[in-house]
Structure 1
Amino acid sequence: MKVLVTGVTGQLGHDCVNEFMSRGIEVRGVSSRDFSLTDETAVKNYLAEYRPDVVIHAAAYTAVDKAEDEQDVCMAVNADGTRYIAQACQDIDAKLIYISTDYVFPGEGEADYEVADTKGPVNVYGRSKLAGEQAVQELLTKYFIVRISWVFGINGKNFIRTMLKLAASHKELTVVDDQVGSPTYTRDLAILLADMAATEKYGIYHATNEGVCSWAELAEEVFRQAGKEVTVTPVPSSAYPTKAQRPKNSRLSKASLTAAGFSLLPRWQDAVGRYLIELQSVDNL
């Protein structure tokens, strides 16, 4: 098996490449330095030359607030770029694993979203990722669409790193508590994606660490495990207005993972603990 991973400079792409390498599988990680996702010819030519058996498409425009002002750029990367990747996979008969997001849902209520539930993105980023999903489904049969949320990993910025940085200069922090979802540790997710790549269990999946929390609860757990004496005061989203609306409910059902026989990711508290250990070697916590 030969694997191509887009977005290698990001959190998930970085860990996916490392996971495949650890399994002795030929893998190549690429970024915008190798080709632009918005250049259809460049995408097609690169995949035709490398001829991977599996493509993990982790690259994306992820600046959620900025996307509200850069709708064309966001759609060009996440919608058109994904279409180009899917077309190139079709040309060489490669499997595609497309990384999507909880943001394709409206984020209402308190129930877990099932994979086939009605979509309804509340921001430009969510609409662009949904358009990417639709392109994949339209062009391919050998695809996995994997929706994730609240991502954290060693190779980039994320909420946990931000909280730890703030803890160095603050003893009290206010954190949003009316957005509920599940964190996703990219090292855990990379293991699942590598497992998926070796199968033909195509379809749509939700993959996050087990359990749910609010952002405030996540912050409290990070400080507890890191031994930081910081008081977290829960506040509503209205206390921190953002350009892009965020879904309040990001709970994702893992029923499709279980039905396909894939292992669920460890609980999010366990993932936080292992991530803090991983961070110690690079951030001097």
Structure 2
Amino acid sequence: MWKIEGKNTKKIMITGSSGQLGSALKFLNNNYLLAPLDKSQLDVVNKEKVFRTVKQIKPDYIIHTAAYTKVDESEIYIKKAIQVNCIGTENIALACKKFNAVMVYISTDYIFDGKKGMPYTEQDMPSPVNIYGYTKFIGEQIVRSVLNKYIVVRSSWLYGGQGKSFVNTILELAKKNSEIRVVDDQIGCPTYVMDLAEAIFQLIKAEVYGVYHASNSGYCSWYQFAREILKCTGNKDTLLIPVTSKELNRLARRPANSSLINTKGVYQLREWKDALYEYIQRHTAVNENIMFNI
């Protein structure tokens, strides 16, 4: 059974609450009445369970963070990606419509093809290049076709919550390897989930609707991101080797430059390096041997 906590009169249901963003939303809280549900409590693909749960909770908002986010695996398990990211999203949207809740749909920079050569705005036309991005874009279209009141939040390169992230992966690899190969021809915006969670709560508080971009300011390549991670932990021993996407040979194609920019105001997230340093300071312990406790 879910646990509802908080003091604010608005009630917010969170799907996928055990993921990176879901866990950050629970941590921040902002004194809303929160009903966080993980996959074991709510399988969004199960329409009957979704309707029954929403009817029982009666939320004012549903923040839909539940998603199939395994980019490469989506190329193989296409049906799974469609079920969770499209059918699951439709179930939540229909439940929002039936029970008069505002839906906050979390989308991704991977809905863009990366060919623009500069940051994408909310007005740019999506053109995904992989199955994951395609299913998330279909999710956006479903939300916009079903609901009049919705918030689509596109973000990118998340780290900082529960579960696997690029930051933790680099730190773990640095403990075991003298060299790390990192792709250097994919550009994006690293985003600290605590900052993203705060932006989502600001949008809810402002009672605004539509499509918003929410990533930390600035952009970099994965290689530059990894270099900054090691720099802020004081690691001067691990050698980073830049490689191309072609050399890496991942199953799913990635956009070359999927960086985002927020043009609508309401909030402005801080520079990505500042957010990264705060995360490292909060969540790592460094001893004289440069050992990291993640």
TM-score interval for Structure 1 and Structure 2 normalised by the shorter chain: over 0.9
> Which of the numbers 258, 267, 270 marks the counterpart of 2:271?
267
TM-superposed CA distance for 1:206, in Å, is 0.7
Structure 2 Cα separation of the partners of residues 245 and 284 of structure 1:
33
- Which residue identity lines up with residue 268 of structure 1 in the other structure? W
Is contact 2:19–2:161 with CA below 8 Å preserved after alignment? no
- Which residue identity lines up with residue 228 of structure 1 in the other structure? N
Structure 2 Cα separation of the partners of residues 130 and 276 of structure 1:
32
The alignment partner of 2:227 has SS state of helix
Cross-structure match for 2:5: none
TM-superposed CA distance for 1:281, in Å, is 6.3
- Which residue identity lines up with residue 24 of structure 1 in the other structure? N
Structure 1 Cα separation of the partners of residues 22 and 186 of structure 2:
26
Q: Structure 1's 51 and 281: CA in aligned 2 closer, same or farther, altered over 3 A?
A: farther
The alignment partner of 2:270 has SS state of strand
Is contact 2:215–2:261 with CA below 8 Å preserved after alignment? no
Cross-structure match for 1:3: 12
Q: Structure 1's 168 and 36: CA in aligned 2 closer, same or farther, altered over 3 A?
A: same
Aligned-pair identity in percent equals 38
- Superimposed CA distance per residue, residues 185-237 of structure 1 (whole angstroms, 9 cap, x where no aligned partner): 00111111111112221010111001110000001100000011222222211
- Which residue identity lines up with residue 144 of structure 2 in the other structure? Q
Match status 1:284 vs 2:293: yes
> Which of the numbers 118, 126, 134 marks the counterpart of 2:125?
118
Cross-structure match for 1:246: 254
> Which of the numbers 223, 244, 256 marks the counterpart of 1:236?
244
- Superimposed CA distance per residue, residues 154-203 of structure 1 (whole angstroms, 9 cap, x where no aligned partner): 31111111110111122322211100010010011111111111222101
- Structure having the higher helix fraction is 1
Structure 1 Cα separation of the partners of residues 206 and 58 of structure 2:
18
- Superimposed CA distance per residue, residues 230-255 of structure 1 (whole angstroms, 9 cap, x where no aligned partner): 22222211111111111111111211
TM-score by length of 2: 0.92
Is contact 2:12–2:60 with CA below 8 Å preserved after alignment? yes
Structure 1 ranges of 4+ moved more than 6 A: none
> Which of the numbers 124, 149, 156 marks the counterpart of 1:149?
156
> Which of the numbers 170, 178, 182 marks the counterpart of 2:177?
170
Match status 1:12 vs 2:21: yes
Is contact 1:154–1:279 with CA below 8 Å preserved after alignment? no
The alignment partner of 2:104 has SS state of strand
Structure 2 Cα separation of the partners of residues 212 and 173 of structure 1:
21
Is contact 1:110–1:251 with CA below 8 Å preserved after alignment? no
* Structure 2 unmatched ranges of 5 or more: 1-9, 287-291
Moved more, 210-219 or 245-254: 245-254
Match status 1:104 vs 2:111: yes
Q: Structure 1's 14 and 137: CA in aligned 2 closer, same or farther, altered over 3 A?
A: same
- Which residue identity lines up with residue 20 of structure 2 in the other structure? Q
- Superimposed CA distance per residue, residues 65-98 of structure 1 (whole angstroms, 9 cap, x where no aligned partner): 1111111111010001001101101111111110
* Structure 1 unmatched ranges of 5 or more: none
Is contact 1:96–1:142 with CA below 8 Å preserved after alignment? yes
Cross-structure match for 1:214: 221
Cross-structure match for 1:255: 263
Aligned length: 279
> Which of the numbers 57, 70, 78 marks the counterpart of 2:64?
57
Structure 2 Cα separation of the partners of residues 112 and 102 of structure 1:
10
- Which residue identity lines up with residue 271 of structure 2 in the other structure? R
